[in-house]
Amino acid sequence: MKITPKDLYLQRRRFLQLGAAGAVGLLARGAAAAKGAVHGEKLAGVKPMSKFDTTEKKTPFEDITSYNNFYEFGTDKEDPAANAHKLVTKPWVISVEGEVKKPRKYDFDELVKMFPIEERVYRMRCVEAWSMVIPWDGFPLADLIRKLEPTSRAKYVAFETVVQPENMPGVKGFSGIGFPYLEGLRLDEAMNPLTLLATGLYGEALPKQDGAPLRLVTPWKYGFKGIKSIVKIKFQETQPATTWSQYGGGTEYGFYANVNPDVDHPRWSQGRERRIGEFLKRKTLPFNGYGDQVASMYAGMDLKKFF
C-alpha cells in the first residue's frame, strides 16, 4: 500500500491552513517532498486487511520514520532517523531462552519464513501524548509462542533490544536510561491476538529507526512497550524488569503501561492526545480503543495501581 504524495500533503499540516497560510503551504510542498525517509525492501505476499484494522487515516510514511523515540540513537525525536542507519541488521540472531521446550537461537531470516506476514493497521499512542495510525506488517507473537512451546512455569515474556555501542551514539552518550532496553509482557498479553511482532510497515521492510528487523507492537499499551530491534526473547516465571518501570525508582511508569486517560503521567495529562497531522487534540480512549480485545485480561485489577 502506497500513499500518494498528493494525499500526503493534503493531509499534512492542516496546521498551515489553520495558520492562515494556505497559499504559502502550497509553495512549501516542493521543499518538504525532498525530505522522504529511506524506503525498505518490498515485502512479498503480505496478507491485507485484518479484522483488527482501524479505518482511520494512516499517518504518512515520512512522519512514522522521522519522529521516533529510540534512545540508543539519541533522545531527540529526529535523532533515530539521523543515526539509525549505522545499525547492523545483517546477520541478526534472536535468542530464545528460559522456560521453553527447546531454547535456541534463530536467524531472523529463518524466523520470518516460519509465518505468513499480515498487515495490521493499528493506532499507536505515545506516552508523550501524541499518536499515529501505522500500517504494520508482521505476524502474531502468539504464533511464535505456540511453536516454541513454553513450559508450565512460563508466566511472563521478557524482551531485550540489541546493544551495538559503536553504532549507537545514544548508548555511549547521556540519555538517562540503562542499556540494553528491556521490556516484558504477561504471557496472556503476549498471546493476545492483537500482539504483533512487526517486520515491516507500509508493506516494506521495517526502517531501522522504527526497530528493524523485528519489533513488538502492543497497540493498547503506550508506544514504549513496543520494544525495537529485538535480540532476546526469554520466558520466565517472575515479572521481568523493564527499562521504564525501573527508571526513577518506578516513578515514571509501571510494568503494564496500558493506555489510560485516567492515569496521568507524573508531569502531564494522558487525557488527550495530538494525532500527528491534526491540529486539535482528541480524547484518549481507554486501552487506546482496544478495550473489546484486551480489557478482560485485566478484570478485577485496579488499573490505577497497576498502571
Partner 1 sequence: MVSRKALVPAAFVACLLPLAWLGGRYLRDDLGANPISELENRLGFYALSMLLLSLACTPAQLVFKWKWPLLLRKLFGDYAFFYACLHLSTYVGIDQFFDWREIGKDVVKRKFITVGMATWVLLLPLAVTSTQGWQKRLGFRKWKRLHRLTYVAGVTALVHFIWRFKTLNTQTSIYASILVLLLTVRIVFWLRRRKEPNRK
Q: Which residues of this chain interact with partner 1, rule CB under 8 A?
A: 12-13, 15-16, 19, 21, 24-25, 27-29, 31-32, 35, 62-63, 66-67, 71, 75, 77-78, 127-128, 130, 173-177, 247, 252, 264, 267-269, 272, 274, 276-277, 279-281
Q: Which is nearer to partner 1, 39 or 274 (CB)?
A: 274
Q: Which is nearer to partner 1, 53 or 128 (CB)?
A: 128
CB of 12 to partner 1, least distance (A): 7
Q: Please return the burial class of 142, using the count of CB atoms within 10 Å of its CB with bins 0-12, 13-18 and 19+.
A: middle
CB of 284 to partner 1, least distance (A): 13
CB of 166 to partner 1, least distance (A): 18
Which residue stretches of the chain are H helix?
A: 5-11, 14-18, 22-33, 61-64, 79-83, 108-113, 141-148, 169-172, 187-191, 243-246, 291-294
- Grid coordinates given for 163: 546493544
The distance from CA 70 to its chain's CA centroid, rounded to whole angstroms, is 10
CB of 145 to partner 1, least distance (A): 30
Closest C-alpha among 250, 195, 245, 244 to residue 220: 195
Give CA–CA dist 5/241, Å, rounded: 43
Q: Which is nearer to partner 1, 96 or 126 (CB)?
A: 126
Q: Which is nearer to partner 1, 97 or 278 (CB)?
A: 278
Q: Which is nearer to partner 1, 69 or 195 (CB)?
A: 69
CB of 103 to partner 1, least distance (A): 33
Unique residue bearing C-alpha cell 516454541: 148
Give CA–CA dist 225/195, Å, rounded: 11
CB of 16 to partner 1, least distance (A): 6
Contact 229, 87 (CB under 8 A): yes
Looking at the DSSP bridge assignments, the partners of residue 137 are: 119, 200
Q: Which is nearer to partner 1, 98 or 135 (CB)?
A: 135
